[in-house]
Homo-oligomer: A and B are copies of this chain.
Amino acid sequence: MRPNTLRRLKAEGKPIVNAWLSIGAPYAAEAIAHQGFDAATIDCQHGMIGFDTAIAMLQAVSSTPAIPMVRPSGLAPAEIMRFLDAGSYGVICPMISTADDAARLVAACRYPPKGVRSFGPARGMLYGGADYLDHANDEILVLAMIETREGLDNLDTILDVEGLDGIYVGPNDLGLALGHRPLNEPEDGPVAEAIEHVRAATNVRGLISGIFCSNGTAAAMRVAQGFDLVTPGNDAALLRATMADAVKATRR
């Protein structure tokens, strides 16, 4: 099976730079995934992407060096299994609030006896290889999003769930949950502290700590902070910004 290079990067202590794909366009996905990213995550929660388009985007990313991952719409095992079958090499699952949530997430991503994933990998075998079944449980990355107050409260038991590969902080939702405006990089205060707390607890266990960031500068700061996997902005926001800049420069 094609190895999941993200595990190697973690083992080597190198940062994983992850693209965030919310535009439903295989061409955009392919163009982005060629820009030096280690991974590219198709956002099927807040992205404007249906299942048919997500498959095409997974194919597009598969022609690049980036490892394809998916954020499903929620903790929906049948949906998660479909994305894995379609060739996703990782899952970033939103709104994991309890150890039971995390256990259900892991189970959805692992074949028996480690989980309850149904067999029928389809495109997964094309991307991964004929021996997909033998290695998928070891290669597929499972990350739980910590972005609710409950998730924060249950962090330790979540991290103790066997088979979970790490967490991914959603700073916006976490901020909202703690009673603040959503901000990717909050200044000092309870949200910033919560983020650091999540990271430290994750890394101390040797698990992958990931986080969404506003842009490359912020992502570099998060790497310096110790995060393993960073997302330097989402495609639509960066596209809007660069286009608005182009208009401004034209009209200056």
Contact = CB atoms under 8 A, between A and B. Distances in A.
A238 interface: yes
Interface stretch (A156-164, A175-183, A195-203): A175-183
Nearest to A176: B112
Given A28-B239, A249-B219, A122 B22 contact: yes
A3 interface: no
B250 A179 contact: no
B24 A55 contact: yes
A215 B249 CA distance: 8
A53 B28 CA distance: 14
Please tell me how many copies of the chain the complex holds: 6
A248 B35 CA distance: 9
Contacts of A122: 22, 27, 46-48, 236
Contacts of A133: 181-182
A53 B48 CA distance: 11
A173 B121 CA distance: 12
A5 interface: no
Contacts of A239: 28, 31-32, 235, 238-239, 242
B240 A35 contact: yes
Given A238-B239, A242-B238, A179 B248 contact: no
Nearest to A71: B120
Contacts of A235: 239, 243
A35 B238 CA distance: 12
A204 interface: no
Contact of A50 (B48, B52, B230): B52
A216 interface: yes
Given A216-B249, A250-B17, A240 B32 contact: yes
A247 interface: yes
A223 to B, nearest CB: 7
A13 interface: no
B220 A250 contact: yes
Contacts of A250: 15, 17, 216, 219-220, 223, 230, 232
Contacts of A63: 59, 62-63, 126-127
Nearest to A57: B59
A50 to B, nearest CB: 3
